[in-house]
């Protein structure tokens, strides 16, 4: 081996007889098939003794001949490698001229120690895969960055590699989606960066394009396409723009790189529950430090599309997508849901996390004016604040049902118990009316018995008529309107949801309308929980069912008219029982008249009716005494109740029921004295 090496070095590949004999001896000892193999082996062995691997160029220098002459030996190099006598020192290098070779340590030791050379069975060579391919592309890009090759040569070599390894799925799919080799080159580099980083690394746009292109303006052109979101890598959805200067392999890109193993590297988009779905979207927004811009919003909406597509098992996504067409509006809905399940509220200023500044202002105006799709479709309400950017976006019960389904009750606020009157807590009370009024009330009571009420609703539905039953009880104060509702509820076993009229008015613009809407939402919520439809009671209803006003008068007039519109709409689609009472029927707007199925007038009681009331309240009275009281004083039933209460108080104090003269005295004190005879005070 030493003799052959001495004669071969700088020998210009000449083969004198003495050298041929030495080469044959080397070939025989190593079981080589030709002298040419021995020539290559000797040179590599000699150089490796000096600690160096060998390239084609090194062989050219060793033999002091042209590179072209040495290239003719590449088939023999391949044979030596296949037999296991030599191997690549840089196995990732694809270009033959750049490959370096070495002899295994075991064979080197056998030759140096004079032992018989025995070659171990050749281990199956690992198949060249997509990861090797991306690594070779990266090495070529590095050479371009060192000005070793031109961009045109870089692209040509990558295309040749694609042709050689065309069966790799990565190459097949990349070529089917990206027509330009330069776009595929960038994709392969993004793939390599993802592979090299165990967490899936990002690719810096500026430095990568500088490495790929000879000319600065070429890299600027490509960067502009990326930042304008029109580059084929982005439009084909293979890569995401994660920052103003960073790219990252997208979920579809990961799929074509890793194939069946993609799930090990891709984010968990699929098979999520409703809570993880919105939490993951929230992380996508907040994991990125880039301030909100059109580019970031575009990237977020693409990510949203992947999440929605990957989770068809979530019914609320399908329903919401049909209802709300724009993805940015759906993303806002999901973020409001996320705050809800984290026991927090979505404040208006948080819109800056989803929208660029100019668009954020537009969205705020749409929300404020009720023109945003989430508000128009009844999914979100705006709880306004004195500073609008602090207003709260809140899911309606409809939205809670949509998103949470069976879990909605965990997050829906219950109707306050103080507003609910249970039928079994209402004491029985005798009510006395004129025969006509009594007949009307009896008809109403029979209509609201459960069996008759169900039949009535079915019949109305068959005729395509509204199924709601609205009742107006009107007339003088103290004539028994409210008490009639109580006894009606007691007789039919229905709960009463009593609306506190004073709480329906707010000094904040738009709040009163919201409160009225909430009343009906609460009523619908209560209906779902009750086996029988409850009664929605508006006592002293003229305070909200008032006549329309000229909207030019004031903001108050606009608010009251808006409330009336809400009431009219809610009554039109009422699915239940509404009873309104009023002492001032003339103050009601005419538009409400046809909405009331029953309109029952309560007159002041006649003497006969008053006598029956007096005897019912004070059984110790003689009929003649009751008649005297009824004829002497034109009291309503409520006023008679007041006299009886005072008489009962005196009985408790004195131990004796007041006599008729004392009762007459109490009656004389019931009416307020007229002020017409009082002396005027103040200025004339």
The Cα–Cα gap between 671 and 517 comes to 40
Rounded alpha-carbon distances, angstroms, from residue 284 to 88, 190, 227:
44, 20, 19
- What pLDDT does 388 receive? 59
Angle at 523 between CA 518 and CA 525, to 5 degrees: 95
The Cα–Cα gap between 383 and 392 comes to 5
The Cα–Cα gap between 602 and 440 comes to 10
Residue 661 gets which letter from DSSP? H
- What pLDDT does 16 receive? 62
The Cα–Cα gap between 218 and 324 comes to 41
The Cα–Cα gap between 312 and 645 comes to 67
- What pLDDT does 5 receive? 62
Chain length of the chain: 684
- What pLDDT does 500 receive? 79
Closest by alpha carbon to 71, among 91, 95, 90, 51?
95
The Cα–Cα gap between 59 and 80 comes to 15
pTM above 0.85, yes or no: no
Angle at 351 between CA 345 and CA 353, to 5 degrees: 100
Q: How many CA atoms lie within 13 A of 53 on its CB side?
A: 14
Tokens of 164: 């050689």
DSSP element (H, E) containing 296? helix 294-310
Question: What phi and psi, each to the nearest 5 degrees, are found at residue 503?
Answer: -85, -5
The rounded radius of gyration (Å) of the Cα atoms in the chain is 46
Estimate to the nearest angstrom the gap between the alpha carbon of 254 and the chain centroid.
24
- What pLDDT does 69 receive? 82
CB 639 within 8 A of CB 670: yes
Closest by alpha carbon to 250, among 202, 205, 182, 295?
202
Rounded alpha-carbon distances, angstroms, from residue 639 to 214, 477, 540:
101, 9, 18
The Cα–Cα gap between 121 and 312 comes to 53
CB 9 within 8 A of CB 49: no
The Cα–Cα gap between 430 and 607 comes to 17
Residue 586 gets which letter from DSSP? G
Nearby residues of 644 by Cβ (< 8 Å), 6 or more positions away: 617, 618
* DSSP reduced 3-state for 221: helix
Residue with tokens 């960073």: 246
Residues of the chain with pLDDT under 70: 1-13, 15-18, 91-95, 120-126, 198-200, 266, 287-291, 384-389, 410-418, 503-511, 547-556, 673-684
| DSSP per-residue string spanning 533-589 | PPEEEETTGGGTSBPP--TTS-HHHHHHHHHHHHHHHHHHT--SEEEEEES-GGGB-
Tokens of 23: 């080469």
Provide the β-strand partners of residue 581: 473
CB 211 within 8 A of CB 150: no
The Cα–Cα gap between 38 and 7 comes to 13
CB atoms within 10 A of CB 371: 10
* DSSP reduced 3-state for 579: strand
The Cα–Cα gap between 401 and 111 comes to 82
The Cα–Cα gap between 390 and 535 comes to 36
DSSP element (H, E) containing 428? none
* DSSP reduced 3-state for 143: helix
């Amino acid at each position: 081996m030493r003799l052959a090496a001495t004669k071969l070095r700088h020998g210009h590949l000449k083969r004198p007889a003495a050298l041929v004999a030495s080469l044959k001896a080397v070939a025989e000892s190593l079981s080589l098939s030709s002298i040419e193999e021995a020539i290559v082996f000797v040179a590599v062995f000699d150089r490796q003794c000096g600690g160096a691997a060998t390239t084609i160029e090194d062989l050219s220098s060793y033999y002091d001949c042209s590179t072209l002459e040495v290239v003719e030996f590449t088939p023999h190099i391949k044979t030596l490698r296949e037999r296991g006598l030599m191997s690549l020192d840089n196995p990732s290098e694809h270009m033959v001229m750049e490959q370096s070779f070495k002899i295994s340590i075991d064979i080197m030791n056998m030759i140096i120690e004079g032992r018989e050379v025995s070659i171990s069975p050749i281990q199956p060579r690992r198949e060249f895969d997509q990861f090797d391919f991306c690594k070779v592309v990266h090495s070529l890009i590095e050479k371009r960055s060192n000005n070793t090759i031109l961009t045109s040569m870089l692209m040509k070599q990558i295309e040749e590699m694609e042709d050689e390894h065309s069966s790799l799925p990565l190459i097949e799919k990349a070529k089917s989606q990206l027509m330009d080799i330069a776009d595929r080159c960038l994709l392969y580099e993004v793939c390599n960066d993802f592979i090299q980083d165990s967490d899936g690394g990002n690719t810096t746009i500026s430095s990568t394009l500088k490495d790929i292109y000879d000319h600065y303006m070429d890299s600027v052109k490509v960067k502009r396409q990326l930042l304008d979101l029109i580059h084929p890598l982005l439009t084909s959805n293979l890569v995401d723009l994660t920052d103003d200067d960073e790219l990252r392999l997208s979920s579809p890109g990961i799929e074509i790189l890793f194939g069946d193993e993609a799930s090990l590297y891709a984010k968990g988009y699929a098979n999520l529950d409703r809570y993880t779905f919105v939490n993951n979207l929230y992380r996508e927004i907040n994991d990125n430090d880039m301030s909100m811009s059109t580019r970031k919003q575009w990237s977020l909406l693409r990510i949203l599309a992947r999440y929605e597509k990957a989770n068809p098992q979530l019914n609320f996504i399908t329903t919401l997508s049909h209802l709300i067409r724009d993805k940015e509006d759906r993303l806002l809905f999901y973020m409001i849901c996320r705050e809800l399940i984290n026991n927090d509220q979505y404040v208006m200023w948080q819109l800056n996390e989803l929208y660029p500044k100019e668009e954020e202002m537009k969205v705020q105006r749409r929300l404020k004016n009720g023109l945003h799709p989430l508000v128009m479709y009844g999914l979100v309400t705006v709880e306004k604040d004195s500073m609008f950017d602090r207003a709260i976006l809140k899911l309606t019960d409809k939205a809670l049902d949509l998103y949470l389904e069976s879990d909605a009750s965990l997050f829906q606020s219950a109707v306050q118990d103080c507003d609910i009157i249970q039928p079994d807590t209402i004491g029985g009370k005798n009510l006395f009316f004129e025969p006509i009024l009594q007949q009307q009330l009896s008809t109403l009571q029979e209509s609201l018995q459960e069996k008759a009420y169900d039949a009535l609703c079915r019949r109305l539905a068959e005729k395509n008529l509204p199924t709601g039953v609205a009742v107006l009880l009107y007339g003088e104060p103290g004539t028994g309107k409210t008490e009639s509702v109580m006894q009606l509820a007691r007789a039919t076993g229905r709960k009463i949801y009593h609306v506190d009229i004073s709480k329906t008015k707010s000094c904040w613009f738009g709040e009163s309308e919201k409160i009225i809407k909430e009343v009906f939402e609460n009523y619908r919520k209560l209906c779902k929980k009750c086996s029988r439809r409850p009664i929605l009671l508006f006592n002293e209803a003229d305070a909200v069912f008032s006549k329309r006003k000229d909207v030019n008068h004031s903001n108050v007039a606009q608010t009251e008219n808006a409330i009336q519109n809400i009431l009219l709409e809610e009554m039109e689609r009422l699915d239940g029982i509404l009873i309104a009472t009023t002492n001032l029927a003339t103050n009601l707007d005419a538009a409400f008249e046809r909405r009331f199925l029953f309109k029952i007038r309560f007159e002041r009681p006649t003497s006969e009716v008053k006598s029956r009331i007096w005897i019912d309240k004070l059984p110790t009275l003689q009929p003649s005494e009751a008649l005297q009281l009824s004829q002497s004083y034109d009291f309503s039933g409520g006023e008679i109740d007041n006299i009886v209460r005072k008489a009962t108080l005196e009985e408790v104090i004195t131990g004796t029921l007041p006599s008729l003269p004392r009762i007459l005295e109490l009656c004389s004190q019931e009416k307020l004295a007229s002020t017409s005879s009082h002396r005027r005070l103040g200025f004339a």
